[in-house]
Structure 1
Amino acid sequence: MRLSALAESVILSWGWRKRFIALLAGASGALALPPLDLWPVIIVPMTVAIWLLDGAVGTGMAARFRSGFAAGWWWGFGFFLAGLWWLGAAFLVEADKFAWAMPLGVVALPAFLAFFPALAFGCARLFWPAGAQRILVFAVALAASEWLRGHVLTGFPWNVYGMMLAGEIRFAQFASLAGLYGLTLLAVAIGAAPAVIGTAKTSAGRWAAPSIALVGLAALFGYGVWRLPPGPSPVVAGVKLRLMQPNLPQDAKFNGRNGEAILNQYLALSDRATSPTTPGLQNVTHLIWPESAFPFLLGRTPGALSRIAAVLPPDVTLITGAARAGEMLPGEGRPPIYNAIQVVNDEGVIVASYDKVHLVPFGEYLPPFLDTLIRRVGLSEFVAIPGGFTAGSSRVPLAVKGLPTAAPLICYEAVFPGEVAPRGPRAGYFLNLTNDGWFGQTSGPYQHFAQARLRSIEEGLPLVRVANTGISAVVDAYGRTVASLPLGVEGVLDASLPRSGPETLYGRVGDALLAGMMLIFLAISCLRRR
């Protein structure tokens, strides 16, 4: 079938046929996400989106908005359904309590998130020009809706469309200039450009936009080649990290009866020899364990701290995830419990802590305005903490003896572009402790790691990431993986700490360049329209 005939069949589709086309086109976009990273597939969802909007007709502005909104909702629903299906695994960890609610995560969340691209489609249709400039209008509308998705109601910037290009490390370097949302703007415009091949009336009109898109793609690639330095990154002298990945089943990890067995496993695994020249902890300066490592409060379990101190050689520091109890306020039934990173010295003393600021809605706490309603239908947060976790007061740096100052990130906090660096003097690296054991052997942990890696490119800071079930890794300031442990493997990983890179433009100005790019796109569209 010629491309013009295919375009015509999409434009003229109606009813359930049009909804089905939109659903499939949106779902195809998940192929460009981790773990597959088939970035050329981005052409399919973006090109079909243009044709869907070409066919979103109506008598009057309100009718055109509704038609575009409906097409965008089905398109977005397909994308999020295919990209977030793995969320269902979390409902099966305690299947007796949560399995019945699986549709809320697998279907209801994608249905809600689809309202953001639907809004973009509807608004773009109101200002829909003829010709190639409609590509720019669509790119601005979709990038703006993604920015909103990352900020409204605490934000959920998971699988932002720019991640379709971020799997190619050289394309991803553009995030150092304009961040994930700037990469999204270009990804949408480049992916949608082939739409005019099937709709333009002249040969020049058919090939101008795709040719510009190819030049843009080559420029992205060329910038990435230019920015990436040759050879390995320099490392911080005197630092030898050991990352411990226990690969514990999630149902066992939060069972209090397993506390002693879990600690035994951690200590034995941490002191494992990895080669004849690395006999356990003797050659290590810093040992790092994953998020929420214990089913007990480490700070209130002196026996556990004593056992840790007995294993740590002199001058070796442990950095671990742990639940932390705060001070109980008057009138409260229990102290606040924080999801924390704690630093333990070789004497078994907790010398520093960081409390997670950006908690996972429904996973770690219930939103106050929904708390009563949700509990009435028998739901609670996933974590085994009555009442859920309490959020930390602010994002603060973490000082650890022998290391540069860390920008600490616990799990979900690593997916928020522009919100990962604490205020004040620039940190030396990202410290990301996480637990993706909720999601098993699915695409979720791969997507999570890819987003954390992109923060390194955006900010020019290396990443040390330790996960319960994987992926644990050390990433340099350009997003290159220096060393890693794969998903679903028990083990330890010895690595040096890469040095931080130069401060990036995105690290200095945030989304300012994105705003400028959007204004330029709109200005070009308006000039062409006149």
Structure 2
Amino acid sequence: MTRPRGEGSKPVRAPEPLLWLAGRPLTGWSATGLSVLAGAVLVLAFAPFDLHLLAPLALALWFAVLRGATPRAALRHGYAFGLAFFGFGVTWIFNSLLIFGDAPWLVATLVTLLFVLCLALYPALLAWSLTRYLGPAPLASWLLALVAGFVILELLRGWLFSGFPWLLVGHVLLDSPARGWLPVVGEAGGALLVGLLAAVLVLAAARRFSAGALLLAALLAASAAVLPWRWVEPAGPSLSVGIVQGNIEQARKWEEDGVRHAMSRYTGMSQEAAGVDLLVWPETAIPAFYFEVDSELEQFSATMEEAGTELVIGIFDYDPVDRSMYNSIRHIPSAATYDKRQLVPFGEYLPLRDRLAWLDRLLDIPMSDLSAGTGSGRVEMAGQVAGLSICYEAAYARRIRTALPEAGFLLNVSNDAWFGATLAPHQHLQIARVRSLEMGRPMIRSTNTGISALIDAEGRVTAQAGLFTSEVLRGEIQPQQGHTPAARFGPWPAVLLALLLLLPALRSLRRA
């Protein structure tokens, strides 16, 4: 029992656990073990496994574990869930630091461990706060509040301390029958939908069939009303596109002859795609500042223009006025440049440099003192406006939205060589596909080592290169016009709905 709220008030009975085994409730470390299982299974709902049905099942198991737990036990269960989810899902960070950052094994291990430990705090704090303040609420109201809290914390994870919007649960809808929700409510609303489906499963397991059926009926009715809508339409003729995936190893790029090797590789391979409307090289395809190779690149671009092809490349740029360095995309024919706005902490800049200089000395990451760019990301090319982004920026919906509705297509260049043969290249491609579907725009995705792809406005891959292959990918994209609700309003409708879902639990506690 909880302590009475005041003299003469009735005590509020703590809820019973939902999970039982052999007539005894599953609590303590057994429940913590189930939380670990739930967190690990949830990763399987994402690329490259794509077992999207496991997402509501894994969340339902974790939700059931939390019901009836004490705040202290819930904190442990939440932390265990987070450790398993992020420990399994983002292990590629260790590979990036050790192999490509040239960090000592111990440093790579400690940094990765610290990162996972910090990320696990999000579900831990959610579990503790829900059981501490809303634990006695009726099951249905409590589940709605838990789903709302889960969505809000995912949004915070994508924003606090520059954000880490990776492995967001809404992304698992991409290849599911509910994929049409993403252009309507975005990734945050997608997470809300997955969480509500998990709540339906918990209600069914708890034999609260009326509440579960009512919630499921509401979701089905909303889906029937929303999913048939189409929010965008073709804008102008299709564009032929060539992507050069040079597959140059990260270490090879920075050898003494790396610039000459890269230039020879990319110009040579590009001949195969002469005649396409747009030819795209990946992020930092040439490991040099633009002013160091401008004459050769402009001469090659002029040659390609004679065949009707506009060249777009990823390269470093330098401002001699303030001595700033940028990770950039340059459209060679017009000299228009986009500078990356969302830099990767510890990879492209060092936060708190005056206090963490020792870490910078331990890591050998080239060009790790970059400046952030500004602007909307819009650049005209091939008779259309493109919305540009570089690498990790594709994970930030708020960055991509700034180019809309003017942009007819999206263009992202990336260097996923840092990830190696891990889950990350597949997860990164999934994020790019979600962004296309969410924004209602096709995307050209050019990477150094894979996975390069052409993605249509429905988030479907129409052409794809291999991983760690050297090839020229060719295909077409159809620019679009219009504004999806997700592009227009961002996460705010999902936030509002999440806040509304908190009200039944708060009201029930007030009555108690």
Q: Pick the TM interval, shorter chain.
A: 0.7 to 0.9
Contact 1:267 1:311 in 2 (8 A): no
Evaluate the alpha carbon distance shift between residue 338 and residue 377 of structure 1 in structure 2; reply closer, same or farther with a 3 A threshold: closer
Contact 2:331 2:337 in 1 (8 A): yes
Contact 1:362 1:382 in 2 (8 A): no
Farther-moved stretch of structure 1 (473-482 vs 153-162): 473-482
Alignment of 1:38-49 (within 5 A): 38-49=51-62
Aligned to 2:265: 265
- The one-character-per-residue Cα deviations of 1:245-279 (angstroms, maximum 9, x if unpaired) are 1122122123342211111111121112xxxxxxx
Evaluate the alpha carbon distance shift between residue 121 and residue 403 of structure 1 in structure 2; reply closer, same or farther with a 3 A threshold: farther
- Between the aligned partners of 2:277 and 2:403, the Cα distance in structure 1 is 27
Q: 1:362 aligns with which of 343, 346, 351?
A: 346
Matched, 1:384 2:366: yes
Evaluate the alpha carbon distance shift between residue 486 and residue 224 of structure 1 in structure 2; reply closer, same or farther with a 3 A threshold: farther
Evaluate the alpha carbon distance shift between residue 425 and residue 37 of structure 1 in structure 2; reply closer, same or farther with a 3 A threshold: closer
- Between the aligned partners of 1:380 and 1:457, the Cα distance in structure 2 is 40
Aligned to 1:372: 354
- Between the aligned partners of 2:466 and 2:145, the Cα distance in structure 1 is 41
**Overall identity of the aligned pairs, in %:** 28
Evaluate the alpha carbon distance shift between residue 210 and residue 305 of structure 1 in structure 2; reply closer, same or farther with a 3 A threshold: same
SS for the counterpart of 2:285 is coil
Alignment of 1:441-456 (within 5 A): 441-456=421-436
SS for the counterpart of 2:454 is strand
Gaps of 5+ in 1: 58-63, 273-279, 330-334
- Between the aligned partners of 2:138 and 2:23, the Cα distance in structure 1 is 15
Instruction: Give the Å deviation of 1:152.
Output: 0.7
Evaluate the alpha carbon distance shift between residue 377 and residue 234 of structure 1 in structure 2; reply closer, same or farther with a 3 A threshold: closer
Aligned to 1:434: 414
Instruction: Give the Å deviation of 1:94.
Output: 3.9
Instruction: Give the Å deviation of 1:217.
Output: 6.3
Aligned to 1:122: 128
- Between the aligned partners of 1:238 and 1:22, the Cα distance in structure 2 is 48
The structure richer in strand per residue is 2
- Between the aligned partners of 1:423 and 1:490, the Cα distance in structure 2 is 31
| AA in 1 matched with 2:349 | Y
Contact 1:174 1:220 in 2 (8 A): no
Q: For CA contacts below 8 A with separation 6 or more, give which structure has more relative contact order.
A: 2
Aligned to 2:203: 196
- Between the aligned partners of 1:253 and 1:286, the Cα distance in structure 2 is 24
Evaluate the alpha carbon distance shift between residue 409 and residue 20 of structure 1 in structure 2; reply closer, same or farther with a 3 A threshold: same
Evaluate the alpha carbon distance shift between residue 307 and residue 256 of structure 1 in structure 2; reply closer, same or farther with a 3 A threshold: farther
Farther-moved stretch of structure 1 (459-468 vs 358-367): 459-468
Matched, 1:394 2:375: yes
Aligned to 1:318: 311
| AA in 2 matched with 1:336 | S
Instruction: Give the Å deviation of 1:172.
Output: 2.4
Aligned to 2:5: none
Aligned to 1:292: 284
Instruction: Give the Å deviation of 1:146.
Output: 0.7
Q: CA RMSD in A?
A: 2.8
| AA in 2 matched with 1:372 | D
Instruction: Give the Å deviation of 1:352.
Output: 0.9
Evaluate the alpha carbon distance shift between residue 77 and residue 468 of structure 1 in structure 2; reply closer, same or farther with a 3 A threshold: same
Alignment of 1:52-451 (within 5 A): 52-57=65-70, 64=71, 66-94=72-100, 96-125=102-131, 126-128=133-135, 129-168=137-176, 170-200=177-207, 205=208, 207-212=209-214, 214-215=216-217, 218=220, 226-227=228-229, 236-237=236-237, 239-272=239-272, 280-281=273-274, 283-305=275-297, 308-309=300-301, 311-314=303-306, 315-329=308-322, 335-345=323-333, 351-367=335-351, 369=352, 371-377=353-359, 379=361, 383-385=365-367, 388-400=369-381, 402-422=382-402, 426-451=406-431
Instruction: Give the Å deviation of 1:136.
Output: 0.5
| AA in 1 matched with 2:415 | N
- Between the aligned partners of 2:363 and 2:53, the Cα distance in structure 1 is 38
Aligned to 1:461: 441
- Between the aligned partners of 2:123 and 2:265, the Cα distance in structure 1 is 46
Gaps of 5+ in 2: 1-17
Contact 1:255 1:295 in 2 (8 A): no
Aligned to 1:275: none
Evaluate the alpha carbon distance shift between residue 122 and residue 321 of structure 1 in structure 2; reply closer, same or farther with a 3 A threshold: same
- Between the aligned partners of 1:497 and 1:377, the Cα distance in structure 2 is 43
Evaluate the alpha carbon distance shift between residue 295 and residue 27 of structure 1 in structure 2; reply closer, same or farther with a 3 A threshold: same
TM-score, reference length from structure 2: 0.88
Contact 2:301 2:310 in 1 (8 A): no
Instruction: Give the Å deviation of 1:499.
Output: 2.1
